[in-house]
Structure 1
Amino acid sequence: MIPYGKQDISAADIAAVNAVLSSDFLTQGPKVAEFEQALCAYTGARYCLVVASGTAALHLAVAAMELPEGSEGITTPNTFAATANSMAYCGIKPVFADIDPISYNLSPSSVSARITPATRLLSPVHFAGQPADMPALSLIAKKHGLKIIEDAAHAIGSRYSDGSPVGNCLFSDATVFSFHPVKTITSGEGGAVMTNDPVLYQRMLLLRSHGITKDPALLSQQSGPWYHEMQTLGWHYRMTDMQAALGLSQLQRLNLFKARRRTLVAQYNQALAELPWLKTPQEMEGFSSCFHLYVVEIDYAAIGKSRRQVMDSLMADGIGTQVHYIPVYHHPWYREQYGDKTGSCPVAERYYQHCLSLPLYFTLSDEEQSHVIQAIQRLAR
């Protein structure tokens, strides 16, 4: 079976985790700080917190901004629900702007059209690893006094058009990564928040661990070495040292992972370009994407098959596929909470009707990819 995505765990990764298992610390130990420092070195951001998941990272970032309840935050419907959920957790109403038909990322013009006096936050998603148009989005945010959280769950290793790495926070207040097993690097489960803002960093640091601090400089009294204070209502969002060791080991191969993914994408594009009923993804000029997904658009009517029939046919050939994504506002909870928004983002809705993610991961062999390509080419026969 060829899945649409999976992790690659090396002997070095296993050795790194085993070393932690033999150490004095399984959690709250030195590997967490090492992983954070390595992520700062890779991205150029000043601060990093590694956490239990990408969702936890998003929630921490939004919560630490202390935006008033009833505010609005703009994001894309073409994402996993966690992006918008992180706003809803904090009493912020998610508002969905439409996507660009080429990059499938947030359209700056649609964002501008959705801004109201209640808008306080903008959260673009770097879909499939392709960075959103952050220069344009940051200008919009500055004009309207908005905070920006980049959801870069798909995009560690990607670079903006100026050549700088995603995660440096030059265009945003915070950037979030995910290390789920289908992502480019994994820590099993896990995530990270990058920022250059020391105040935001300190708030997130407190919220990550129950709102509790032992820092003598922050305590209201000095009672002894055991003393600690819960200064706000936080969460248990810490990452273990075992996860951090795995993530740190995987990070050392990130450039290797990126090179292979880009080779596979180029091979897909070349082989599938001549199919008149299929649209291959296009990398935006000047960007360097560490592709997390390989998403095509298929004209199902033109080949006389439904998407379900196509997915079943590919599965029969031993090929797993997936759909990224159902527009978030189509989910029942969002319809119940915020009303039926069908028709509000027509480009995203049209894209959803046609999209399909094909297998893409580091260990996908050329032979396996050829099998996928041949199965796709046979769909119209």
Structure 2
Amino acid sequence: MIPYGRQDVRQEDIESVIEVLRSDFLTQGPKVPAFERAVAEKVGATHGIAVNSATSALHIACKALGVASGDILWTTPNTFVASANCALYCGADVDFVDIDARTYNLSVEALRAKLRESADNGRLPKVLVAVHFAGQPCDMEQIRDLSNQYGFRIIEDASHAVGGKYQDEYVGSGNFSDVTIFSFHPVKIVTTAEGGLALTNDESLAQSMRLFRSHGVTRAPEQLQQEPPGPWYYEQVELGFNYRMTDLQAALGLSQLERLDEYVSRRHELADLYDSLLEGFPVTRPYRASQRYSGLHLYPIRIDPSHDRRKVFEGLREREIGVNVHYIPVHTQPWYRARGFGWGDFPAAEEYYREAISLPMYPSMSDQQVEQVVAALEEALALK
């Protein structure tokens, strides 16, 4: 089967991990801070805080931004549930902003309208999580302008967009947000097996996130509440979590990071080939906006409503093409329906979901495999 995504682990990656296995440190050693520095330097951010998943990174970002009971976080319904759940972990509420029908990202127009309405009823968000769906950055400059006007903070959920660019700057530079979140899951752009990272240019936020990822425990003299009685001394100054990345994971990430631009470039070659081969098919190909360079984690197409999406999906699976659907709108999940959301609340996201299929996309995929996917799609659509 051709999977929808897969990791590319090479001999140099394996050797990097073996080196750590033979070292004195398997968990908290020199590789984690080295990986944090390497990612931050690559994208032009000041601080990187590595954790065990992007979900953990979202959680500690919300905690550092002070999200708590009585607050509300907004995000898009077209995302994985973690982009919303991070607010619930902090005791806050969640609401959603519908998507743009062309980019499938959060709609700036819908956001502007919802902010006007919410300003009138006194229920503005404390934080907005802007998700760069499929790797394409949101319109961050306009979102930042709205945050300045209405006073909310911004988290970029760039789990799909590692290596992507907005206005010629790497996603993660922090030019238009408070915190950016990366994911290093195996199907993402580069991998640490499991893992995530929060990027920020704010020293205070970085210190808070470092505390929250490691039990709220510190040895830093400036954070201690009393004079240390000896070099063994530490204090718990926050209620934190065990969200730390290991040296094994960081070593893999450091090796993979060297191929980041190569990986994203190859994804663009594959997307260009898909675009060409799918011309004339009854599908909508993904739109790539100007001044934005997508990480192209996904290649989602929309099946014309004249065709049965489920039949096409199953036909592709029968032909050993490992397609997937990204995403079932978060507000339609049972947990969120029980809290007052339901079908019909965000029609653009729901319409997209009913038509969406993610075709295979990963850097080690060959041109011949793309042609195989397209041939299978042609058969599943009964075009032959």
Shorter-chain TM range is over 0.9
Compute the TM-score of the two structures, normalised by the length of structure 2.
0.96
Aligned partner letter, 2:255: S
Cα contact 2:192–2:253 (8 A) shared by 1:
yes
Question: Which residue number corresponds to residue 174 of structure 1?
Answer: 179
CA apart distance, 1:65 = 0.9
Question: Which residue number corresponds to residue 236 of structure 1?
Answer: 242
Equivalent residue of 1:347, what SS? Answer: helix
Question: Which residue number corresponds to residue 127 of structure 1?
Answer: 133
Matches within 5 A, 1:299-378: 299=304, 301-303=305-307, 306-336=308-338, 338-378=339-379
Cα contact 1:95–1:114 (8 A) shared by 2:
no
Cα contact 1:48–1:194 (8 A) shared by 2:
yes
Aligned partner letter, 1:272: L
Unmatched 5+ residue regions in structure 1?
A: none
Deviations 1:160-183 (A, max 9, x none): 0x2011000110000000000000
CA apart distance, 1:206 = 0.7
* Cα distance between partner residues in 1 of 2:246 and 2:303: 42
* Cα distance between partner residues in 2 of 1:258 and 1:67: 34
Equivalent residue of 1:322, what SS? Answer: coil
Equivalent residue of 2:169, what SS? Answer: coil
Matches within 5 A, 1:1-381: 1-115=1-115, 116=118, 117-118=122-123, 119-160=125-166, 162-221=167-226, 222-275=228-281, 277-299=282-304, 301-303=305-307, 306-336=308-338, 338-378=339-379, 379-381=381-383
* Cα distance between partner residues in 2 of 1:238 and 1:138: 30
Aligned length: 375
CA apart distance, 1:274 = 1.1
* Cα distance between partner residues in 2 of 1:355 and 1:237: 33
Equivalent residue of 2:154, what SS? Answer: strand
Aligned partner letter, 2:50: V
Equivalent residue of 2:300, what SS? Answer: strand
* Cα distance between partner residues in 1 of 2:129 and 2:334: 22
Moved more, 71-80 or 309-318: 309-318
CA apart distance, 1:311 = 1.9
Moved more, 221-230 or 256-265: 221-230
Aligned partner letter, 1:183: K
Aligned partner letter, 1:36: E
Question: What value does the CA root-mean-square deviation take over the aligned residues?
Answer: 1.0
CA apart distance, 1:112 = 2.0
* Cα distance between partner residues in 1 of 2:330 and 2:294: 24
Aligned partner letter, 1:331: Q
Aligned partner letter, 1:39: V
Equivalent residue of 1:302, what SS? Answer: coil
Identity %: 47
